[in-house]
Amino acid sequence: MKTGDFTGCAVVLTIIALVPVVFNLLKLAWKCWRGLREFVLSEYWKVNLRTYGQWAVVTGATSGIGKAYAKQLAQRGLDVILVSRSDEKLQVVAKEIEDRYGRKTRTIRVDFTDGHSIYRAIAKELEGLEIGILERSHLPESPFTYFPLCSYVDQKITQVINCNILSVSQKSVIHLLCRGSGLIINISSEAGNRPHPLFSLYSATKIFVTYFSQCLHAEYKSKGITVQCVAPLLVSTNMTNNMKVNCFVKSASEYAREALNTVGHSSYTSGCLSHALQNMALTVLMPDWLRMSSFFIRPHILFLNAVHSELKCAQQFLLSRLEIHM
């Protein structure tokens, strides 16, 4: 074989070898650009949420991420309909929003664990209003409490499904279709990105929220409706026992502010740069085979059982102190 033939083969092989390298570099560059736009440039390049409509409906609006979203939406110029199960807390949040941001509010008291019966009442309250944004973040209980599936009673399983699945899949998109525009924000969780033993029911219901949101966005984006799925990690709320805020744990107000900035830049988001980086790290350091292994699960069961025992002892101590004072 001639020298020229060897040179030609070497060039061809070099090109073949470079193709996947160049492809992966371009893929990495695209991801970096998307991350930069989603979490950095969005701070200065915000979507005007008023273009979606006058009113925003926020569920789980009396605490945590839902309350923080309600305040952020009011601060950005929208009137807010607050939905939660405590009428007293609803009135407190409504007054706070009206006094601080000067926006109109309405309240709807419902419990999303009750199932189908509540949605007719909600629809009636929303009649005639220019609904532009629907934000859904209600939770039945803390997912960070260990509940093996066998410990759930049937009613508890139904409540979790009603809250995390049934409520998200209701025909609320019809209100937005009639106007030809709108924004739906569904709060999922990092636990919905991959299977999480010990939080099986919560994890399974949250992956429904993720997939349902992504499918709805694909179906309705051509009709002017944006469906965004937000998947946070740890946020300091009552649900997480008000964990101390640090570089890994966001406050609810800061998280809601950063997550709202991503509207128009991403239909699926971790909500903030810190959580996006943590999600990437968990994907690499905690692969599914490790997370699903007995080696990983057993120490967690022991740890969580110990925590539960301590909490039970503390509860009994407080009850005994109350009995003494009574």
Domains of the chain: 38-288 (3.40.50.720)
Buried b (16+ CB within 10 A) or exposed e, 271-290: bbebbbebbeeeeeeeeeee
CB contact at 8 A, 78 and 102: no
Q: Count of CB atoms within 10 A of residue 197's CB?
A: 15
Rounded CA-CA distance 60/231 in Å is 16
- In this prediction, residues 291-308 reach a mean pLDDT of 74
Burial class (CB in 10 A: 0-12, 13-18, 19+), 81: buried
Strands of the chain (E only): list them: 55-59, 79-84, 105-109, 131-136, 182-187, 225-230, 235-236, 250-251, 268-269
- Work out the pLDDT band at 95, boundaries 50, 70, 90: very high
Is the pLDDT at 139 greater than 80, yes or no? no
Catalytic machinery residues? 202
Q: pTM for the complete prediction?
A: 0.82
pLDDT at 145: 46
Question: Most confidently modeled of 20-34, 129-143, 162-176?
Answer: 20-34
pLDDT at 143: 47
